[in-house]
Amino acid sequence: MEHPLDSFFYPGNDLGATYRKSHTLFKVWAPTQRNISLILYQEHDRERGTIYPMKRGEKGIWELKLKGEYKNKYYNYIIDSGDKSIEVTDPYAKGATINGEKGMIVDFKSLNPMDWKHHPRPQMASPTQAIIYEMHIRDFSMDKSSGMKNRGKFISFTETNTTNTKGDDTGVDYLKELGITHIHLLPIFDFGSVKEEKHHEYNWGYDPVLYNVPEGSYSTDPYHGEIRIRELKDTIYCLHQQDIGVIMDVVYNHTYIAENHPLELLVPGYYHRTDKKGNFTNGSGCGNELASERQMVRKYILDSLCFWAREYQIDGFRFDLMALHDQDTMNIIERELKKINPNIILYGEPWIGGPSSLPPPLQFTKGSQRGKNIALFNDEFREAIKGDNDGRGLGFVTGAKGLEEEIKRGIVGSIYYNEHIQGFAQEPIESVNYVSAHDNLTLYDKIEKSCPYATAEEKIKMNKLALSIILTSQGIAFIHGGAEILRSKKGYPNSYNMGDDINQVNWDDRYRYKDNVDYIKGLIALRKTQRVMTLSRAEEVKKHLKFIKSPPNVVAYRLTSPYQGDYAKILIIHNANREKVEIYLPDEEKWKVIANAQEVNIYGVTKEEKYFRGKIKLEPLSTHILVRD
């Protein structure tokens, strides 16, 4: 798998433009080029710049040191092959003008919020304590019901005291009230599928161009490169102030239009995988795939991740199509990022998007993560709960029968629990439990498609039950933003470019489904207070979680906690039947109900009966939680 250009591996950490008040150092790796120059622009909109020849050094590095103050100036590289010359943006650029047309020389210290370097960040003992909420920057604030001023922008996340038309909290205040620990942001780096100056254009952003530059369409001024940097840092700082970590969705598996990408133009045929005929292979399903197994590609990915972790204090990374990364690369990423932040959360998709030239034994697929502190989206659990993603297939909550064992497997974090219940994970920290994400139908749209004859009330109960299972299972809890307010995309699954009307969150639904929100908020609060619900090791799960006998289409289990502050025993029961079902309770002692079909209250429900002994009648499509001190 070694490439001839791997012999030119450069280990330095100074590629790109390194700013100092007295000078700026430019370095670019391009071992096959004959001549490279730097072109320097004084303003973002200048068409003519000053050209400086660069000097070739060892390992294919082209270098130039410009003395003087060049803060906020713009630059590109000119590749001269003799027959023609082309202007290329620096792939290591950390700032840029509109649409990535020019790289920018950045003094990051001048753009930091006050106390940025040492400001407090969310801390947790284990990734299983994370409750992740996935959101797209535009979706969060674009609807008028959001009550936000900076709609569609990074800094909408800095706004407080915003409300919907009914006076309910929206935005960051709502996230804080809901109780999530982390927000997972769909791609926030520079992507090529929208024109940054056109506010109406929409895309999820899985089309990377400049990996180390924030996306300009999410800034209030995409022309001046320092604005997007400052606004993104302000956003992260404000979220941290609310004790909410920031997880960045990263797409290192492919680039946008490979033949025109700066990486390809600088070192043709190296950064992307090709077949024997020299054509780009398409394991991503997006036209190309990056060759992570090559030394300088691996370095580029690692340098980029470390930059975001250090400079922007990102708290976690979600890897798109992670199976396209070779296992060695992912292992090195985990090791190096943990050095920067021991609490960093790493997870991704353990699949590919098409046939790849990376041999299957090298791909980071399901099973590759065992014991490596990297989590995977648990698609098996997802489908057991709701059925297939976009079709009419049924799952546990929507009416399929005989799925109790599959639900149990997910509940224990897909570890090897016993000979009947075993999954892909070595430890529960390796399982991201979810029932919907930005891809495919929303949870509520899926329920509507699968259960067209169910009543409106039953559909709401199914939605609640699905999220209840996620929030009471071992592993990492993940919620598609808005699932708790029955978010709909009008039945469209792959809405990546379908605009705000389909994708934006309707914040008035926060009022319409207030009872549902309160229920999910209660489950989150319970999960955060009971350590036994977020165990990090398989042996702990096997010791403290025991399933109990239950009727068909019911899953029930008891947690016995050794931890101070927990309830001594917690009994969790999920009833997927559309009628009431009776279940016998373990032991002869009295159990206190802290969750029934209507409410969750850590101290005991206020609606319906509060105590049961011997047996309990379960409401249809519901979760019940009972405890003993």
Are 166 and 511 spatial neighbours (Cβ–Cβ below 8 Å)? yes
Tokens, residue 166: 């009914």
| Nearest C-alpha neighbor of 147 from the set 121, 171, 123 | 171
Residue 608 placed within a domain = yes
Residue 46: what pLDDT?
81
* In contact, 269 and 97? CB cutoff 8 Å: no
Q: How many helices (H) and strands (E) does the chain have?
A: 14, 25
Mean pLDDT of 285-300: 98
Cα 6 to Cα 2, 9, 59, 107: the distances in Å are: 7, 5, 10, 32
Q: What is the mean pLDDT of residues 55-78?
A: 97
- Beta strand extents in 293-450 (DSSP E only): 316-319, 345-348, 375-377, 431-433
Whether residue 9 contacts residue 294, with contact meaning beta carbons closer than 8 Å, is answered with no
The pLDDT of residue 178 is above 80: yes
- CA-based torsion, 278, 283, 287, 293: positive or negative: negative
The active-site residue out of 320, 326, 404, 427 is 320
Which of 111, 146, 166 terminates a domain? The answer is 111
Tell whether the model's pLDDT for residue 1 goes beyond 80: no
Q: CA 431 → CA 378, 443, 542, distances in Å?
A: 6, 19, 16
Residue where a domain terminates, one of 91, 111, 131: 111
152-176 pLDDT tens trace: 999 999 999 999 999 999 999 999 9
Q: How many domains does the chain have?
A: 2
End-to-end CA distance of the chain: 59
Q: At what angle do helices 456-471 and 443-450 cross, to 10 degrees?
A: 130
Q: How far apart are CA 481 and CA 438, in angstroms?
A: 8
The per-residue pLDDT of the chain, averaged, comes to 97
Q: How confident is the model at residue 608 (pLDDT cuts 50, 70, 90)?
A: confident
How many Å separate Cα 393 from the centre of its chain?
26
Percent of the chain with pLDDT over 70: 100
- Can you tell me the mean pLDDT for 291-305? 98
Q: What is the mean pLDDT of residues 215-240?
A: 98
The residue-averaged pLDDT of 281-298 equals 98
Q: How many alpha carbons fall within 13 Å on the CB side of residue 443?
A: 31
**Pairing relationship of beta strands 23-29 and 16-19 according to DSSP bridges:** antiparallel
Q: What is the rounded distance in angstroms from the CA atom of residue 534 to the CA atom of residue 541?
A: 9
Count of CB atoms situated within 10 Å of the CB of 225: 30
Give pLDDT tens digits for 546-587.
999 999 999 999 999 999 999 999 999 999 999 999 999 998
449 CB-near residues (< 8 Å, 6+ apart) = 390, 391, 392, 441, 491
Residue that finishes a domain, picked among 76, 111, 146: 111
Q: Find all residues with CB under 8 Å of 314, minimum gap 6, and list them.
A: 236, 246, 247, 248, 308
The pLDDT of residue 169: 98
Tokens encoding 55:
């000097």
What integer pLDDT is reported at residue 121 of this predicted model?
Answer: 94
What confidence tier does 82 reach under pLDDT thresholds 50, 70, 90? confident
The answer to whether residue 610 sits within a structural domain is: yes
- Is residue 423 pLDDT above 80, yes or no? yes
Q: What is the pLDDT of residue 150?
A: 98
Lowest mean pLDDT of 114-118, 362-366, 409-413, 466-470, name the range: 114-118
414 φ/ψ angles, rounded to the nearest 5 degrees: 55, 35
The Cα–Cα gap between 37 and 19 comes to 18
Looking at 34-48, 321-335, 372-386, 424-438, which range is the least confident one?
A: 34-48
Q: pLDDT category, 181, cuts 50, 70, 90?
A: very high
User: Is residue 313 in some structural domain?
Assistant: no
Residue 553's pLDDT is: 98
What is the C-alpha separation between 73 and 615, in angstroms, rounded? Answer: 73
Which two tokens mark 328?
A: 């060695």
Alpha-carbon gap, residue 547 to 558, rounded angstroms: 6
- Among 90, 139, 349, 509, which one carries the catalytic annotation? 349
pLDDT digits (tens, 9 = 90+) for 314-367: 999 999 999 999 999 999 999 999 999 999 999 999 999 999 999 999 999 999
Is residue 539 assigned to a domain? no
The H or E element spanning position 240 is: helix 225-241
Q: In whole angstroms, what is the distance from residue 115 CA to residue 120 CA?
A: 9
Q: Is residue 445 flagged as an active site residue? A: no
Quote the pLDDT of residue 45: 82
Measured CA to CA, the distance from residue 132 to residue 124 in angstroms comes to 13
Residue 594 is predicted with a pLDDT of 98
Q: Kindly report, residue by residue over 186-208, the tens digit of the pLDDT.
A: 999 999 999 999 999 999 999 99
96 and 213 Cβ atoms separated by less than 8 Å? yes
Kindly list the distances between the CA atom of residue 412 and the CA atoms of 83, 436, 523, in Å, as whole numbers in the listed order: 63, 19, 18
Q: Which domain holds residue 88?
A: 4-111
Place of tokens 């249809």: 620
Does 417 map to a domain? no
- Catalytic site includes residue 101: no
- Domain assignment present for residue 273? The answer is no
Within 343-481, where are the H helices? Answer: 379-386, 404-411, 443-450, 456-471
As to burial, measured by CB atoms within 10 angstroms (0-12 exposed, 13-18 middle, 19+ buried), residue 127 is buried
Q: Are 526 and 595 in contact (CB under 8 A)?
A: yes
- Alpha helix (H) residue ranges in 412-513: 443-450, 456-471, 500-503, 509-512
CATH of the domain at 592: 2.60.40.1180
pLDDT tens digit sequence for 619-629: 999 999 999 99
Q: CB count, 10 Å around CB of 519?
A: 23
550 domain-assigned: yes
Q: What is the predicted pLDDT for the residue at 559?
A: 98
Beta carbons within 10 angstroms of residue 78's beta carbon? 18
Contact status, residue 147 vs residue 210, Cβ threshold 8 Å: no
- Check residue 605 and give its pLDDT: 96
Which CATH number fits the domain that encloses residue 78?
A: 2.60.40.10
Q: Tell me if 280 is assigned to some domain.
A: no
pLDDT, tens digit, 9 for 90 and up, residues 237-273: 999 999 999 999 999 999 999 999 999 999 999 999 9
- Distance (Å, rounded) from C-alpha 72 to C-alpha 190? 18
